[in-house]
C-alpha cells in the first residue's frame, strides 16, 4: 500500500483502531478504507470489531450526536430523517455502466466514468469534522455457503447502528480469512448536516458499481438509500447470482408453517408492497425466519434458504395489537429498537394507525409539530410519516424460528407469490409445475394501486417476482435463471399464488384477514401430498371439504360452501385479460423475453378458451375434476 495511505490511516485511526485493521492482514481492506479516508476527510476513524465495547461505542455516538433520541422505554430510540428524505430515491438510484454492459430495458443507469466523477466530487470532504465508522458485516449467516461479506463505511452513527441491528457482525470472519476474503464495498456520507439531517438532498445520489461491487450513497440519511447491505446489496447479489446461475437472490420472506405431528415446513414468499407480505410471514401460530430478502441454493437435490438479515426494518403505519400482536408486544417492551419518522410526545412514540389517541403536538420529522401544521407548499403535515419505520432484531420476537442462524439454511418446500387483485385470481392456488409457476404466477405478478399510492386507484402494476425495482440483469435472463435453477431437481419446490384482495360485485372483500392462516395450512399439506386438489386451467385449487375442515381447526369457523364458490370460481374473462396484459408487457417492454414464456401463456390461454366454450365465463369449482 502507498506510504501516504499508511500514514493517513495511522493518523486518522489512532493506534488502537489502526491495530484492528492490521490484525485483518488484508491489504485490500486497508486500501479501500484509506482511499475514502483521503477523499472524505473525516476527523477520525472508528473500526468496529465484533466486541460488545465497539458495538456500544456506536450506540452511544448515535445518542451523543443527536442522530437518535432516547425514548421512555429502555433501549428504545428514535431517528428523524429530513423532511424531503423520507423514501428510496428511485430517480437518483442508478447503475454505473460501461458500453459493453447489458442491463436490459427500463433500468436507470449512468456512464461509469461520468458517475464515478460525480459521486466522488460529492463525497470529497463530506466527512470533514465527523467520525468515520467502518463496519465488517455479513449477508446471511457467517461461515456458510450463503455468506457474502461486506465492509460498510459511513459517517452516520444511525446508519452504523441500524446496520448492526440488521446484519451479522463479521470482523472475526475477516480476520480468519485474511486476504482471501471476497467482499462488497459500501461508501455512505450523510453530507452536510443541518439540525442533524442531510442538508443537500437535492444532490442525493445512490450509485451501484458492478465492476467493483461497490455502492455509493451521499447526501441522504433515509435507510433505504443508505443501508448498503439492504436493497442496495440486493442489486449486487441479483447480478452475482445471475452471473453464477446456480442460486437465487430474492425479495422474499422465509417462514415455517406447522403441520401434523409437530412438523415444520418452510416456505419463501414474494409480495409487492401493501400486498400482505409481512402479515403472511408474521401470521399467528407460525414461525418467522425473515421478512424481506432471502438467498436460495441447491444442495443434495433440495432447495435451501437463509434470511440475508437478522432484523426487520418494517413499516409501522397501522401496526396494532390486534393484527400484529407479536410485533406490538416487542415494540412496547424493553429492548433495542430504533423508531424512525414517527411522532414523539413525552418519550412515547406514535404513528399513523396507532391504537391510542394521537397527541395534539410533539416532535416529528418536520421538527416541532402541532395539529394543523403545514409545509411551505401549504400541505398539512401528518403527525407521523406514512413511511415511518421500526428497526428491531428478529430474536426479539417470540415467533422467531430457532433456525435463523443455521449456516446450512432451511429446506424450502414451497414458494408463494402474492399480489393485489380485486377480480381475477382465487385466494390460493398451486401451479402445475415449476415452469408453469415461474411464468404464470411469479413472472406475471401484478399489484393494483391503492389509496396509499400516488395516482389513480385500481391500476395494475407489473412486478416480476416482486423484485422489479431491484433487478440488475435483463428480465429475460432473470426468468431463464429461475427456470434453470430447479430444472435439474427431482422434486422442485411447489409454487403457489395467493390473493387476499378478491372482491364481489358490490366491491366488498370476500376473504377475511385471518383466512391466510388456512391457506398456509392447505399449502403445507399439499407439499407433502396429504390433500388432493381440483385441476383448473390456471392450476390446482383446494377442495371444499379440506378447507371446511381447516377453517374449523385453525379459526374455529364454519366455512360455508357458498363462500367457497364465490372465492374459487374460475373467472375466465378476467384471466384471459391478465394474459393479454402480461403478453403485451413482454412483447413491448422486454427485449429478451424467452420464447418459453409466450408458449406457456399461450397454452394457458388455450385451456381457458376451451373451458369457456364448454362452461361459460364464471365456472364453479365442482365442474372440474379432482387431480
Catalytic residues: 275
Enter the DSSP assignment of 155.
Answer: S
State the residue for C-alpha cell 421500526. Answer: 390
What does the alpha-carbon distance between residue 301 and residue 341 come to, in Å, rounded to a whole number? 46
What does the alpha-carbon distance between residue 291 and residue 278 come to, in Å, rounded to a whole number? 6
What does the alpha-carbon distance between residue 170 and residue 183 come to, in Å, rounded to a whole number? 11
> What residues does 398 pair with on adjacent strands?
none
Contacts of 479 (CB under 8 A, 6+ apart): 438, 439, 443, 464, 593, 594, 597
Q: Which residues of 43-54 are buried (b: 16+ CB within 10 A; e: fewer)?
A: ebbbbbbbeeeb
- Burial class from Cβ neighbours inside 10 Å (0-12, 13-18, 19+) for residue 57 reads middle
What does the alpha-carbon distance between residue 217 and residue 191 come to, in Å, rounded to a whole number? 10
Cα–Cα distances in Å, from 264 out to 231, 255, 308, 459, 528?
A: 29, 10, 21, 38, 11
Element holding 117 (H helix, E strand): helix 112-123
Cα–Cα distances in Å, from 539 out to 422, 428, 469, 483, 594?
A: 19, 10, 28, 18, 22
Nearest CA-CA partner of 168 in 135, 142, 133, 134: 142
State the residue for C-alpha cell 485493521. Answer: 21
Residues in the chain, total: 627
Angle at the Cα of 246 from the Cα atoms of 241 and 247, rounded to 5 degrees: 55
Tell me, letter by letter, the H, E, C secondary structure of 418-439.
EEECCCCCCCEEECCCHHHHHH
Enter the DSSP assignment of 380.
Answer: B
Cβ(307)–Cβ(293) under 8 Å?
Answer: yes
SS3 state of residue 129: coil
Cα dihedral 95, 98, 99, 101, rounded to 10, equals: -60
Amino acid at each position: 500500500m502507498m506510504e501516504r495511505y499508511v500514514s493517513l490511516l495511522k493518523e486518522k485511526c489512532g493506534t488502537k483502531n489502526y491495530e484492528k485493521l492490521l490484525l485483518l492482514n488484508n491489504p485490500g481492506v486497508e486500501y479501500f478504507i484509506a482511499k475514502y479516508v483521503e477523499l472524505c476527510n473525516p476527523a477520525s476513524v472508528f473500526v468496529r470489531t465484533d466486541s460488545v465495547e465497539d458495538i456500544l461505542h456506536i450506540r452511544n455516538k448515535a445518542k451523543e450526536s443527536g442522530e437518535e433520541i432516547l425514548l421512555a422505554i429502555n433501549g428504545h430510540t428514535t431517528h428523524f430523517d429530513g423532511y424531503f428524505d423520507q423514501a428510496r430515491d428511485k430517480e437518483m438510484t442508478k447503475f454505473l455502466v460501461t458500453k459493453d454492459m447489458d442491463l436490459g430495458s427500463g433500468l436507470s443507469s449512468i456512464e461509469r466514468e461520468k458517475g464515478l466523477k460525480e459521486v466522488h466530487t460529492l463525497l470529497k470532504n463530506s466527512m470533514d469534522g465527523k467520525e468515520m465508522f467502518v463496519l465488517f458485516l455479513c449477508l446471511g449467516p457467517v461461515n456458510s455457503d450463503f455468506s457474502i461479506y461486506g465492509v460498510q463505511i459511513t459517517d452516520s452513527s444511525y446508519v452504523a447502528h441500524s446496520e448492526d441491528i440488521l446484519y451479522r457482525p463479521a470482523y472475526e470472519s475477516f480476520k480468519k480469512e485474511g486476504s482471501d476474503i471476497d467482499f462488497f464495498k459500501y461508501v455512505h456520507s450523510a453530507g452536510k448536516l443541518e439540525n442533524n439531517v442531510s442538508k443537500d438532498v437535492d444532490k442525493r445520489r445512490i450509485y451501484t458499481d458492478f465492476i467493483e461491487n461497490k455502492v455509493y450513497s451521499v447526501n441522504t440519511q433515509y435507510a433505504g438509500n443508505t443501508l448498503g447491505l439492504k436493497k442496495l446489496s440486493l442489486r449486487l447479489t441479483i447480478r452475482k447470482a445471475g452471473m453464477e446461475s446456480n442460486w437465487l437472490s430474492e425479495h422474499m420472506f422465509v417462514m415455517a408453517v406447522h403441520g401434523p405431528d409437530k412438523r415444520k415446513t418452510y416456505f419463501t414468499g414474494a409480495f409487492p408492497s401493501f400486498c400482505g407480505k409481512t402479515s403472511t410471514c408474521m401470521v399467528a401460530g407460525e414461525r418467522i425466519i425473515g421478512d424481506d430478502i432471502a438467498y436460495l441454493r441447491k444442495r443434495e437435490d433440495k432447495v435451501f434458504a437463509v434470511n440475508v438479515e437478522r432484523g426487520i426494518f418494517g413499516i409501522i403505519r397501522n401496526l396494532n395489537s390486534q393484527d400484529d400482536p407479536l410485533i406490538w408486544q416487542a415494540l412496547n417492551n424493553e429492548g433495542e429498537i430504533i423508531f424512525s419518522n414517527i411522532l414523539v410526545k413525552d418519550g412515547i412514540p406514535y404513528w399513523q394507525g396507532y391504537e391510542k389517541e394521537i397527541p395534539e403536538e410533539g416532535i416529528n420529522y418536520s421538527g416541532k409539530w402541532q395539529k394543523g401544521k403545514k409545509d411551505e407548499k401549504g400541505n398539512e403535515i401528518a403527525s407521523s410519516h406514512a413511511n415511518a419505520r421500526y428497526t428491531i432484531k428478529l430474536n426479539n420476537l417470540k415467533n422467531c424460528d430457532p433456525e435463523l442462524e443455521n449456516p446450512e439454511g432451511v429446506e424450502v418446500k414451497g414458494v408463494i407469490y402474492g399480489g393485489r387483485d380485486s377480480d381475477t385470481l382465487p385466494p390460493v392456488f398451486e401451479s402445475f409445475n415449476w415452469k408453469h409457476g415461474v411464468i404464470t404466477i411469479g413472472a406475471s405478478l401484478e399489484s393494483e394501486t391503492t389509496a396509499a399510492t400516488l395516482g389513480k386507484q385500481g391500476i395494475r402494476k407489473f412486478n416480476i417476482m416482486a423484485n422489479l425495482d431491484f433487478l440488475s440483469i435483463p428480465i429475460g435472463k432473470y426468468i431463464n435463471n429461475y427456470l434453470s435453477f430447479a430444472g435439474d431437481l427431482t422434486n422442485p419446490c411447489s409454487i403457489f399464488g395467493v390473493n387476499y384482495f378478491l372482491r364481489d360485485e358490490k366491491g366488498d372483500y370476500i376473504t377475511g384477514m385471518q383466512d391466510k392462516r388456512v391457506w398456509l395450512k392447505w399449502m403445507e399439506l399439499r407439499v407433502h401430498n396429504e390433500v388432493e386438489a381440483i385441476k383448473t386451467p390456471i392450476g390446482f385449487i383446494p377442495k371444499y371439504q379440506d378447507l371446511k375442515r381447516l377453517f374449523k381447526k385453525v379459526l374455529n369457523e364454519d366455512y360455508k360452501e357458498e363462500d367457497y364458490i364465490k372465492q374459487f370460481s374460475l373467472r375466465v374473462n378476467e384471466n384471459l385479460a391478465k394474459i393479454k396484459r402480461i403478453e403485451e408487457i413482454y412483447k413491448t417492454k422486454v427485449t429478451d423475453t424467452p420464447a418459453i414464456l409466450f408458449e406457456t401463456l399461450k397454452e394457458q390461454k388455450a385451456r381457458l378458451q376451451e373451458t369457456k366454450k364448454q362452461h361459460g365465463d364464471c365456472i364453479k369449482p365442482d365442474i372440474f375434476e379432482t387431480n
